[in-house]
Amino acid sequence: MTQTVIVTGATGGIGKAICHHFKEHGYFVIASDRINTDDLACDVFVNADLQKLCQIAEYREQTIKEFCSYLQGRGLNALINNAAVQIVKSTDELTIDDWRTTLDVNLLAPFLLTQFLLPKLESVSGSVVNIASIHAQLTKPQFVCYATSKAALVGLTKSMAVDLGPRIRINAICPAAVETPMLVDGFKGKEDFFKELSQKHPLNRLAKPEEVAYTAYFLVSQQSAFMTGESLNLCGGISGRLNDPV
């Protein structure tokens, strides 16, 4: 029987790579985001605003119903919670709305999607992969909201894995900087800064979106069948490096 995956944040660089990799491996791909794009490798697309999903019960029920309608009686083999928002502000600039938006999309939405889709996941011993961030461990100025939400997502991954036990597996990936089109565009005219960022990683480069996709695929495969509650660093060695002057 064809295996199924739901991917949130599907139109970003990492989301597209995940959809493409799972599609290549024969999955029925249900992609979700706020907008669709022509170059997305998926079987169906669900337009979903994750903040509305968190805040409005009727919208949440309709969205979950739409997801389930595309399963056509099959179970859900994988849920990839990839969608995220990144609000870059200093401590004295952050607002309550900034916090609510960040925590809704980056933390509460992954929980709610897992909770509401749990029967479909459990019916086929499915897996959840939460895309967290190296910011769960190491961060920098103006990332207070984002780093906090990703640290909480790592905690959610561990605690839900313990709570749900053998019913489903839940793991997370913590990438460092990923060479997405959005990131590359942000460094146009600042090539020296891009080179410096790359060289901060001991592998002397950024991660490719495809490498996040490969890791997500591994975590839902039977090759990782004894892994749950884990958060894998995909960071090119940066988590072990001091940034003191040489």
Active centre residues (catalytic):
146
149 vs 190: CA distance, rounded Å: 29
169 vs 220: CA distance, rounded Å: 8
Would you say how long the chain is, in residues? 246
Kindly state the tokens that stand for 72: 């056509």
Alpha helix (H) residue ranges in 45-108: 50-55, 57-71, 96-103
63 vs 144: CA distance, rounded Å: 30
Give long-range contacts, CB 8 A cutoff, 24+ apart: 132-141: 132/157, 132/172, 132/173, 132/174, 132/231, 133/84, 133/174, 133/175, 134/174, 134/175, 134/176, 134/233, 134/235, 134/238, 134/239, 136/174, 136/231, 137/174, 137/233, 137/239, 138/238, 138/239, 141/90
